[in-house]
């Protein structure tokens, strides 16, 4: 995909939820351009694959080859943490649970939190070792505790990836150690970062922790932007000689949260600097606002043959829109209801459309849903409305 000149982009598509699992992000980030309101081009950076997205609206603000296949390296630990967070939220494990460290975990190569065989370490400590220190030994220990072995845990990782719409990602291990079958993309990684922040906010503070001490050794978080920009509060670094230096970053300024992913940079400094360039571009030239709240009545529709004459319509979820700076007040929205709606009507049923325009161009369409249910009316109402419909 060529470098985006960007302005407004459509919202990401919804995906079906698996029963009993937390809300997902969505299938993909959208990218049609609105040329009517030009904005400066994104910075040209040295990351061969990268993406910048607004977390709330799902708009992609910049990108180059965001669908290119890439070795995840330690970015795989984002999904390792996501799986553990899900188990914690479901009550199947707790932060206080003690994990007995296996020889397999102890032998993990690469970055480590220096676990010892046979020691008992809490889930909480292992999560810190996984996220702050990027410990491969912590990743293996967590995988074995949750799923019995790392291979089974990788199946859980892939199940969650599929549910989140990460269609171009495959995991074979929990730590991100090189494997020909391991792959991801900048686009998929942004979806995963968004899901972590949205689905498990109670654990997200771990990603802003600057250092962690274990076994008498203090190690610093490798995300240099945690020191360089106070608005940055995550997310994760990754490196192998094949993948290069990778960084997923999230920052929030004035209620607007952006996520950047840069893959394949030349050094630690480069991945930090190029991520900051993308973030500064997004915050400088765009703004995001909540246009409507979930459950807010935007219009009402006539209901025929119902116990009541009308039903309120609104959007099912908070609707955020990203615009170029100083263009938000130029948005216009039109709500229209379907004709000849007949009872019964179920709450949440799509019965209309909301269109949002900027510079005479439709930039977003959203279904309008019934905010309440309407039962079928009595016999007299049925007869009268049937006659009125015939006369229309």
Instruction: Please give the backbone phi and psi of residue 58, each rounded to the nearest 5 degrees, phi first.
Output: 80, 15
Chain centroid to Cα 282, Å, comes to 17
Q: Residue 241 catalytic?
A: no
The single residue of 49, 57, 77, 224 carrying the catalytic annotation is 77
Q: Residue 125 catalytic?
A: no
- Count of alpha carbons within 13 Å of 68, Cβ hemisphere only? 18
Q: Residue 346 catalytic?
A: no
| Structure tokens belonging to residue 79 | 């999904």
Are residues 226 and 112 in contact, defined by beta-carbon separation less than 8 angstroms? no
Q: ∠ CA(43), CA(49), CA(51), 5° rounding?
A: 60
CA distances from 128 to 156, 202, 204 (A): 21, 14, 11
Sheet holding 60-64, edge to edge: 60-64, 49-54, 256-265, 244-253, 232-240
> Nearest CA to 43 among 204, 275, 200, 214?
275
Tokens 């008498």, residue? Answer: 216
| Structure tokens belonging to residue 209 | 């922790």
The alpha carbon dihedral of 166, 170, 174, 178 has a sign of negative
Cis peptide before 177 (omega within 30 of 0): no
The single residue of 134, 175, 260, 275 carrying the catalytic annotation is 134
| Structure tokens belonging to residue 18 | 């698996």
Provide the annotated active-site residues.
Answer: 74, 77, 134
């Amino acid at each position: 995909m060529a470098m985006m000149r960007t302005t407004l982009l459509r919202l990401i598509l919804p995906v079906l939820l698996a029963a009993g699992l937390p809300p997902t992000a969505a299938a993909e980030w959208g990218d049609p351009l609105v040329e009517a309101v030009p904005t400066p081009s994104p910075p040209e950076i040295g990351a061969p694959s990268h993406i910048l997205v607004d977390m709330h609206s799902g708009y992609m603000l910049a990108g180059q080859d965001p669908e290119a296949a890439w070795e995840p390296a330690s970015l795989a630990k984002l999904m390792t943490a996501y799986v553990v967070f899900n188990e914690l939220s479901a009550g199947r494990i707790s932060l206080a649970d003690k994990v007995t460290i296996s020889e397999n975990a102890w032998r993990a190569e690469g970055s480590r939190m220096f676990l010892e065989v046979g020691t008992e370490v809490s889930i909480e400590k292992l999560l810190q070792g996984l996220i702050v220190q990027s410990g491969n030994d912590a990743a293996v220990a967590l995988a074995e505790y949750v799923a019995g072995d790392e291979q089974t845990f990788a199946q859980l990782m892939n199940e969650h990836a599929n549910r989140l719409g990460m269609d171009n990602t495959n995991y074979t291990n929990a730590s991100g150690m090189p494997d020909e079958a391991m792959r991801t993309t900048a686009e998929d990684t942004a979806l995963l970062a968004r899901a972590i922040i949205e689905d498990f906010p109670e654990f997200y503070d771990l990603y802003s922790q600057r250092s962690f001490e274990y076994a008498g050794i203090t190690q610093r978080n490798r995300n240099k932007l945690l020191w360089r920009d106070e608005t940055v509060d995550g997310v994760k670094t990754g490196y192998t000689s094949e993948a290069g230096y990778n960084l997923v970053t999230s920052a929030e300024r004035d209620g607007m949260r952006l996520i950047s992913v840069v893959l394949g940079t030349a050094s630690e400094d480069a991945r930090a600097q190029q991520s900051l360039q993308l973030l500064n571009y997004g915050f400088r030239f765009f703004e995001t606002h909540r246009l409507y709240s979930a459950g807010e009545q935007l219009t009402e529709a006539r209901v025929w043959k119902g116990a009541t004459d009308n039903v309120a319509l609104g959007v099912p979820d908070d609707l955020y829109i990203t615009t170029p700076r100083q263009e938000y007040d130029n948005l216009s929205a039109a709500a229209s209801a379907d004709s000849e709606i007949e009872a019964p009507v179920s709450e949440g049923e799509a019965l209309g459309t909301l269109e949002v325009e900027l510079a005479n161009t439709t930039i977003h369409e959203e279904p309008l849903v019934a905010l309440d249910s309407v039962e079928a009316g009595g016999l007299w109402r049925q007869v009268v409305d049937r006659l009125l419909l015939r006369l229309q």
